[in-house]
Amino acid sequence: MVEVLEHYNIGQSNFKIVLAVPKLVKKAKPGQFVVLRVSENGERIPMSIADMDREAGTLTVIYQVIGKTTALLATVKPGEYIMDCVGPLGNPSHVDKKGKYMVIGGGIGIAPIHPVAQKARENGNEVYGIIGARTKELIFFEDEMRKACNRLYICTDDGSYGEKGFVSNVLQRLIDEGDKPDFILAIGPVPMMKAVCETTRPYSIPTWVSVNPIMIDGTGMCGACRVSVGGVTKFGCVDGPDFDGHLLDFDLLTSRLRMYIPQEREAMKKFQEEVHTPYVGPKS
């Protein structure tokens, strides 16, 4: 059982949860993920590491309520326990010295780029970040990202905060101004990661993305998370989650993510019919 130390809403359906997992955070590295189970018979949901404090033994996850299990997670109060938190899983991100190291986070993808930016800067890179979301309310970690990056650019689709437009528009502007990164790690919704890769392809800027295929065990046993990279089948959980975005088959990733939509809708409908008290606690 894992104790929930903090848990609160950070805008619309996004939540921040802090878990007491001292052994796990001792080993965890930026770019890795964990698999959570809320209850004994519950689904296993992969979540990226958004922050960790090795001294306090805590791990932070930022998640969006999107279906049954994330809705169930949102009912857990600080001081209560979830079933388990397995990890760290997957490979750490490439944070060695590249020079101008750009991190791009879209929506909930802002969370996993945060520890990567911290580590890349610690390793001597000039780190610049672009974070974007649909609207102002969905931008989070602004202060944390300002600390982690040498420079930070913010944009929203509706122009309610920062520049108006997509993260790929900001990236194109910087390239046009001669500010070309040596390496990019982009994390966010699949169309966003694809747009970033198409922006950088003509300039041959190495661009890696973190994939989010459906995962079950997270340890290479089930094959659910398979993706195609340069025509070769890879497993998101053990070969990734980061891959060269110029080689990734984004269309296959999208279609595989949609495979269980009818079942997911049915599970959410049943969950909503039951009596649950969503925990939308204040920031404590």
Ligand X SMILES: Cc1cc2nc3c(=O)[nH]c(=O)nc-3n(C[C@H](O)[C@H](O)[C@H](O)COP(=O)(O)OP(=O)(O)OC[C@H]3O[C@@H](n4cnc5c(N)ncnc54)[C@H](O)[C@@H]3O)c2cc1C
Residues that bind ligand X (CB under 6 A): 33, 43, 45-48, 61-64, 66-70, 108, 111-112, 212-215, 241, 257, 261, 264, 268
Q: CB of 189: closest distance to ligand FES in angstroms?
A: 20
67 binds, among ligand X, ligand FES, none (CB under 5 to 8 A by kind): ligand X
Shortest Cβ 92–ligand X spacing (Å): 13
**Cα–Cα distance for residue pair 93/146, rounded to 1 Å:** 20
Complex with ligand FES: residue 174 or 224, whichever CB lies closer: 224
Residue 46 or 245: the one with the smaller Cβ distance to ligand FES is: 46
| Nearest residue (CB) to ligand X, 182 versus 264 | 264
Buried b / exposed e across 45-72, counting CB within 10 Å, b at 16+?
bbbbbbbbeeeebbbbbbbebebbbbbb
Question: Shortest CA distance to 196 belongs to which of 116, 104, 100, 127?
Answer: 104
- The interface partner of residue 48, options being ligand X, ligand FES, none and the CB cut-off 5 to 8 Å by kind, is ligand X
Tell the smallest beta-carbon distance from residue 223 to ligand FES (Å): 5
In terms of CB distance, is 31 or 236 closer to ligand FES? 236
Shortest Å distance, C-beta 216 to ligand FES: 5
**CB closest to ligand X, residue no:** 67
CA gap 5, 80 in Å, rounded:
8
Beta strand pairing status for 33-37 and 14-20?
unpaired
Q: Give buried/exposed letters for 209-233 (b at 16+ CB in 10 A, else e).
A: bbbbbbbebbeeeeebbbbbbeeee
Output DSSP code: residue 4: E
**Nearest Cα residue to 167 out of 136, 189, 192, 184:** 192
Strands 151-156 and 207-210: unpaired
Q: Which residues bind ligand FES (CB under 6 A)?
A: 215-218, 220-225, 235-237
Pick one of ligand X, ligand FES, none as the site partner of residue 268 (Cβ within 5 to 8 A by kind): ligand X
